[in-house]
Structure 1
Amino acid sequence: MNTVTRPRILVVGAGFAGVECVRRLERKLAPDEADVTLVTPFSYQLYLPLLPQVASGVLTPQSVALSLRRSKKYRTRILPGAAIGVDLKAKVCVVRTINDTVVDEPYDYIVLTPGSVTRTFDIPGLTEHAFGMKTLAEAAYIRDHVITQLDLADACDDPVERAARLQFVVVGGGYAGTETAACLQRLTHAAVQRYPRIDPGLIKWHLIDIAPRLMPELGEKLGRSAQEILRRRGIDVSLGVSIEKAGAEEVTFTDGRVVPTHTLIWTAGVVASPLIGTLGAETVRGRLAVTAEMTVPGHDGVFALGDAAAVPDLAKDESGAVCPPTAQHAMRQGKKVAENVIATLRGETLTPYVHRDLGLVVDLGGKDAVSKPLGVELRGVPAQAVARGYHWSALRTNVAKTRVMTNWLLNAVGGDDFVRTGFQAHRSGRLKEFEHTDAYLTPEELRARVEGGAGESS
């Protein structure tokens, strides 16, 4: 078959869903059956659940970044860039490449897995002064920042400034926020032993959330257990509370408290990628509305899954239930959508996605963890074994598994290395700088570009 006439399959996003989709397509498609292109800003798959351990230094950044170019046998073309708009009628995806050139990428079939971005609110000073925990760069940057605060506090003679440097605020009582607070508190608790001029009692971690419970998906008992572990470590957990405003040197809570701090970490949930807003298609609470087969109604050859899509959860009895934005669903959806793309190519019947949740794991560092595999509630070492065993087995490559296991063993035996890498000296790293949510086209800009024949670049 002539390559010009091959169907073009475009996969947007290299998260759990996108990578699993591409790998399944490569295994199931004949070499001359279709051309597959993957659009991603970075040529690696990020294992997002382990980011708090990168921030705390337990794992190196390379351990959780799984290279997409490591194997020579894969035939997918990787297009380095970010999708900033999709015209479903013209079947064109607009991509801003890493050299800042805007190109139009045509397709016959598109799989949308752009993931999510940090959910923010109209809170004064939030995006200018808060750190996120959604990217590899943010996790590495936060580690540098936290250790820098200890160094600055140690060098400071002003007791007011020293106290502010040693207070840390994490907003978000979900998995990301709870694990981030837990892991970084362990880091500072261990590090301060190397700072004889700093009173360990001055270090204060605050974890706040507007919800009445931590991690409600775990259930009341396990959520309470996690809260007790954090409080036993000295972390101040405040529920029913959020941020009223944020500044460079203090944060004001909605209950009126003003906390002097130079560290505000925002993990209060996620929303679908802004790319979804360029499609002009129906959404459900911001996520793209799709069928159980993960097709977009009314648009042939368009599939969507992962965090950006409201995939019906057929394993639950309740009407209107959608799959939560978790790794275990995204990975399995990726495999299923690849099979449905192939079925569409071959004129076969599509099959719906059905997966019963296997449970949840929360690693709080050290011997502390809470887990609920298959509905069984675990705490302590057994929960930690399940949590790390699950994450280790979910890593896609043997190289990644070896790196992560080696890091865990080294950390258990040798402890932490309190090293600053120097990121602080080069650039600011708040929410505003890292997630680039202002890069997407508006529907009007997208339509003008496609209809106006903007060509290959602008």
Structure 2
Amino acid sequence: MTAQVPHILVVGGGYVGMYTAYGLRRAARKGRIRVTVVDPRSVMTYQPFLPEAAAGSVEPRHVVVPLRKTLKGCRVVTGRVTGIDHAGKVAKVLPEEGPAYELAYDQIVVALGSIARTLPIPGLAEEATGFKNVEEAIALRNKVLDRLDVASSQPDPVLRKSALTFVFVGGGYAGVEAFAELEDMARYATRYYDNINPEDMRWVLVEATGRILPEVGEELGKYTVDQLRKRNMEIRLETRLESCEKGRVILSDGDEFDADTIVWTAGVKANPALAATDFPLDEKGRVKTLANLRIEGVEDAWTAGDNAAVPDLTGPAGTYCAPNAQHAVRQARRLAANILRVVDGQPPQDYEHKYVGSVASLGLHKGVAQLYGVKVKGWLAWFLHRTYHVSRVPTFNRKMRVILDWTLALFFRREVTSLGSLQTPNEEFQRATQS
């Protein structure tokens, strides 16, 4: 009698999901296991390059990795897992179109990741945009350049001022890098407008705590604040966004002003879809996880990344790994290896990785970095940022495309064309049908 081939279900196609499946693909092609990846998107987004994609330094298509092309030997399902019954080893899948159905599995990898952590702020849902996927990066780039067009063509000083005001909420990596990269792009773009100067723009970063970029340390955080303020950018520390209804920004320090562009990057939280599972969750909604990346208290279930509370064996007792790409990629590789070890009848190994450090870009040729305790600023930090992240981008194909983007940028000027019609592609046709 032929033994049944184990079916591994990977829920999520982000860092953990994609890299785990990538580590299992050869075993799947050899018929040792079956692997199914379920995600609402057919691509994995390399988020550290979103600020550069928004600023036009990298082609947006080059920061996403097509799952079907990359995960040969694995089945990719474009859909959303709406529930997991691990006791019965079935997951409920809602495909992009058609009715939901159940998918049975032998082992499961929970890689649902995180979503933006928002607050009940009046006007936030209607006026603000997030910054977690390539669509939002493209939309934000178009919005910034479109506002320059509007301001250039607008004689009303009040409307012009609102168009040239850009507010970012959140002083972590995503917020600071997007804030700095887009200001750098917009500053460059003003050379093509005869009635807009860089000084006409107002860029405001709102952060509720007393520092930005805590990952690079207090000294480099202060350096970043100083460098951004030298570019006439406002850094509002210990300040909260109270309201932004109809574009009217009200801050906790009492300041009020109008802004056409509001970007929310104030942290993330574990995917709330985890509540529709029978896995143990902690007080932050993360899956309770053992050091070997098995889900605590259950068999044949694994997890890692943003949605998991993974013990940090290199830190003090009771600490957990930070929810970042550095840990997620390494956890996924260990997770894939552990699944294959278990299939072969061997015990899984613990995940242990000492945090290397952090790098952040502050625009073209500007950055900060802290690697192995060494603090780096300016051009060298920017170069280290690019070098590190191009080494982390999945697949040789994407690495080369990103490098080619950077190489071409050495010989040609920055592209600052807005494709605003992408947001409303049918607008012109609808006007034609009404005339």
TM-score by length of 1: 0.89
Q: What SS does structure 2 have at the residue aligned with 1:10?
A: strand
Gaps of 5+ in 2: 428-435
Q: Which amino acid aligns with 2:412?
A: G
Give the alignment of 1:219-368 within 5 angstroms: 219-280=217-278, 281-316=280-315, 318-368=316-366
Give the structure 2 partner of residue 54 of structure 1: 53
Identical columns (%)? 35
Once the two structures are overlaid, the 10-residue window that deviates more, 195-204 or 132-141, is 195-204
CA apart distance, 1:381 = 1.4
Give the structure 2 partner of residue 84 of structure 1: 82
CA apart distance, 1:100 = 4.8
Q: What SS does structure 2 have at the residue aligned with 1:295?
A: coil
CA apart distance, 1:217 = 2.0
Counterpart of 2:129 (choices 128, 131, 143) is 131
CA apart distance, 1:340 = 1.8
CA apart distance, 1:346 = 2.9
Q: Are the structure 2 counterparts of residues 100 and 188 from structure 1 closer, same or farther at C-alpha, using a change threshold of 3 Å?
A: farther
Give the structure 1 partner of residue 432 of structure 2: none
Q: What SS does structure 2 have at the residue aligned with 1:133?
A: coil
Contact residue 226 and residue 370 of structure 1 kept, 8 A: yes
Give the structure 2 partner of residue 193 of structure 1: 191
Aligned length: 425
CA apart distance, 1:339 = 1.8
Give the structure 1 partner of residue 375 of structure 2: 377
Give the structure 2 partner of residue 455 of structure 1: none
Contact residue 54 and residue 140 of structure 2 kept, 8 A: yes
Contact residue 86 and residue 275 of structure 1 kept, 8 A: no
CA apart distance, 1:410 = 2.4
State whether structure 2 residue 116 is matched by structure 1 residue 118.
Answer: yes
Once the two structures are overlaid, the 10-residue window that deviates more, 249-258 or 176-185, is 249-258
Q: Which amino acid aligns with 2:309?
A: A
Q: What SS does structure 2 have at the residue aligned with 1:69?
A: helix
Q: How many angstroms apart in 1 are the aligned matches of 2:31 and 2:408?
A: 46
The one-character-per-residue Cα deviations of 1:6-27 (angstroms, maximum 9, x if unpaired) are: 2211001111211221121123
The one-character-per-residue Cα deviations of 1:73-110 (angstroms, maximum 9, x if unpaired) are: 82100111122221222212122212253221111100
Give the structure 1 partner of residue 99 of structure 2: 101
Q: Which amino acid aligns with 2:20?
A: C
Q: Are the structure 2 counterparts of residues 427 and 203 from structure 1 closer, same or farther at C-alpha, using a change threshold of 3 Å?
A: farther
Contact residue 29 and residue 342 of structure 1 kept, 8 A: no
CA apart distance, 1:44 = 2.0
Give every structure 1 segment of 4 or more consecutive aligned residues whose post-TM-superposition deviation is greater than 4 Å: none
Contact residue 164 and residue 262 of structure 1 kept, 8 A: yes
CA apart distance, 1:248 = 2.6
Gaps of 5+ in 1: 429-458
Q: Which amino acid aligns with 1:197?
A: N
TM-score by length of 2: 0.94
CA apart distance, 1:424 = 2.7
Give the structure 2 partner of residue 21 of structure 1: 20
CA apart distance, 1:359 = 0.8
CA apart distance, 1:30 = 7.2
Q: How many angstroms apart in 2 are the aligned matches of 1:351 and 1:204?
A: 51
CA apart distance, 1:29 = 5.7
Q: Which amino acid aligns with 2:271?
A: S
CA apart distance, 1:426 = 4.2
Q: Which amino acid aligns with 1:44?
A: V
Q: Which amino acid aligns with 2:103?
A: E
Q: How many angstroms apart in 2 are the aligned matches of 1:407 and 1:260?
A: 36
Q: Are the structure 2 counterparts of residues 154 and 100 from structure 1 closer, same or farther at C-alpha, using a change threshold of 3 Å?
A: farther
Q: Are the structure 2 counterparts of residues 156 and 314 from structure 1 closer, same or farther at C-alpha, using a change threshold of 3 Å?
A: same
Q: What SS does structure 2 have at the residue aligned with 1:19?
A: helix
Give the structure 2 partner of residue 161 of structure 1: 159
Q: How many angstroms apart in 2 are the aligned matches of 1:107 and 1:253?
A: 50
Contact residue 311 and residue 322 of structure 1 kept, 8 A: yes
Q: How many angstroms apart in 1 are the aligned matches of 2:98 and 2:413?
A: 42
The one-character-per-residue Cα deviations of 1:118-170 (angstroms, maximum 9, x if unpaired) are: 10011111122111000111111111111111111111111100000000000
Q: Which amino acid aligns with 1:144?
A: N
CA apart distance, 1:256 = 1.4
CA apart distance, 1:427 = 9.0
Q: How many angstroms apart in 2 are the aligned matches of 1:347 and 1:424?
A: 52
CA RMSD of aligned residues (A): 1.8
